Chain A
Amino acid sequence: MRRLLWTLGGLALFALLWEGYKLVGDPDGTVLFGVRLLPRADDLSMPHLVDVLQRLGRPELTGGRPVWTVVLQACLFTLGITVAGFLAGAVVGLLLAVLMQRFRLAERGLLPYVILSQTVPLVALAPLIAGWGGTVWPERMTVAVIAAYLAFFPVAVGMLRGLQSPQAAGVELMRSYAAGWWRTLLKLRLPAALPYLFPALRLAGAAAVVGAVVGEISTGTRGGIGRLIIEYSREATSDPAKVYTAMLGAAVLGLVVAGLVSLLELPLMRHRRRVEVVTM
């Protein structure tokens, strides 16, 4: 309940800042020595929030569906891509982490490439895999691959750190019980890794959203919120509020995914508490 209040408070503060800046800010922005310090506050650059909300209610095109249904549908489409990408990325990241923990050689051989993978610009990657869709799987799965590509990284690195976190005493204790690698993993390493896993998953969730949105823009995949942002931004000249409806959708999508990821923590957290009770 309190959390909800905080969220609402945050929203109110944002609205206050936005409209407040529009009230006091220079419509032409503040430029000092040719460097833009503050953005323009005119209606073309920063439409009133009321206008954006009103635009949500009006039809997208004459006689068409209202914008909010279009944005909502696009968000759901991208949510599907994000979830698919997130799950695939998380599984790949987990497997990589376990592999790297198990074999020193794998860690030494793979970790640099895992890190290197994130320095490859998405714009170079996207066209490469853009043609995959259509025959083997639907076009949108290509975008999910991009989302997964961004999402696996924090999981792999965070989880590896977590799996390596138990102290030597713990590992030796397991060994004294004659527990094999698998048992040590299940009983010791995985529970110990959970505190590392959660922040990693949150990062992965955010990365998956970014990957999905950017991937859509990059490959031009139709149906999602990324594509909608590009489509609407072409109309920014005459209908600036419309662009912000799509951006609002993307922001809401990010929040929903963050919420879903924290829901994921709930059962695992309960598990962790039980572990604590047992150990006490």
Chain B
Amino acid sequence: MRRILLASTAASVLLLAACGTADTPTTPTASGGAPVAVKLQLQWFYQAQFAGYIAAVDQGFYREQGLDVQLLEGGVDIVPQTVLAQGKADYAVAWVPKALASREQGANITDVGQFFARSGTYQVAWKDSGITKAADFKGKKVGNWGFGNEFELFAGMTKAGLDPGKDVTLVQQQFDMQALLKKEIDVAQAMSYNEYAQLLEATNPATGKLYTPADFTVIDWKTEGTAMLQDAVWANTDKLNDPAYQQQTVKFLLGTLKGWAYCRDNAEACRDLVVAKGSKLGKSHQLWQMNEVNKLVWPAPAGAGTIDEAAWKQTVDLSLTTKNQTGDTVLTKQPEGLAYTNDYLRQAIDQAKAAGIDVNGTSFQPATVTLNAGGS
């Protein structure tokens, strides 16, 4: 029996060697041949926020795992976790609170990789307004995006003893930061990697030069203690019972891990990849974004993508207790079933370590990025 097996293995090796060309991957592919098609639903258009996945596709990190990963861009009405739950994608990138809310409504999904270990949400005010903390929002016009992007802000205000429904005037914010610049609102919601940079790319009409960080005060929910987990890779919970999907998940996470490690060490190359993908945002803006996103991923003491139990608990607790202006919470009860698991990520980390990849980025130092006018 063993001899037959050996013989057949030898035969297949010979066969592989026979059709082997220069581009044959060294690691075995899923079925020994064609790569498996995998779809990943992103939250938005291509931008450096997704650089790890883009790099993993471009640098062949997925392909060497036998995966042919197709990235699906998001849109205004595309909800990644819903796309995943409907089976239109194999994995999705989504913020934890929003995905947990979808879970509560029946989406059967599991967080398998928390690549953004930190939140990138800011609330930005003018320096001369004197607003420095959430408690100062009282009586002010507070901009927010709504649609589940506002809960860190609401948690911060609640923690500071404010009733978000009564003590502040809530204003729905647009995609840009014009409302803050025109002083229509006193504090504006901004992602460290996007909208905050937009402010620093705008020209101050008073001086004719760009605004600088000295013009603004940043209220960072990480330091205020109401940060929630953001970009994570979600998988289909039902399919996770299937050994083939389990294996594929490990491979996918390994490729993603390599992608983020690559972007940590090659921020400018990753910026160029994103720009080449047809992003309409300028080069200096994308480099800023790449750098800020790297800060959210690295350093990762437990290995990038590991779900930190304390951070998870804080996210869930805030989701259960924070009320928005209509009195709703993100979640009404503790997440049931398999809401998250580190099982597949640990396997991926072990394999990455074995391959000599630095999965912790302990020595990671963010760069100083100079923004140009308009982000060009």
Contact = CB atoms under 8 A, between A and B. Distances in A.
Given A61-B283, A127-B82, A217-B75, A237 B178 contact: yes
Nearest to A122: B77
Given A44-B178, A230-B175, A232-B280, A237 B199 contact: yes
A237 B176 contact: yes
B198 A219 contact: no
| Interface bracket on B | 35 or more
A235 interface: yes
Interface residues of A, number: 34
A45 B182 contact: yes
A230 B76 contact: yes
Contacts of A126: 75, 77
Given A235-B198, A238-B201, A60 B75 contact: no
Interface of B is mostly: loop
Nearest to A124: B77
A107 to B, nearest CB: 33
Interface in B185-225: 194-195, 198-199, 201-203, 205
Nearest to B195: A237
B374 A235 contact: yes
B45 A236 contact: no
Interface string B356-376: 000000000000000011111
B107 interface: no
B198 to A, nearest CB: 4
B77 A123 contact: yes
B328 interface: no
Contacts, number: 102
Contact of B73 (A40, A220, A228): A220
A245 interface: no
B60 to A, nearest CB: 22
- Scoring A62, A228, A231, A234 by chain B CB atoms within 10 A of each residue's CB, the highest score goes to A234
Interface in A43-61: 43-45, 60-61
A176 B199 CA distance: 77
B178 A239 contact: no
A127 to B, nearest CB: 5
B182 A127 contact: no
Contacts of A237: 176-178, 181, 195, 198-199, 201-202
- Scoring A61, A217, A238, A242 by chain B CB atoms within 10 A of each residue's CB, the highest score goes to A238
A78 interface: no
Contact of A42 (B73, B182, B372, B374): B182
Interface of A: 28, 40, 42-45, 60-62, 123, 126-127, 130-131, 217-222, 227-228, 230-240, 242
Interface of B: 44-45, 73-79, 82-83, 86, 88, 174-178, 181-182, 194-195, 198-199, 201-203, 205, 275, 278, 280-283, 372-376
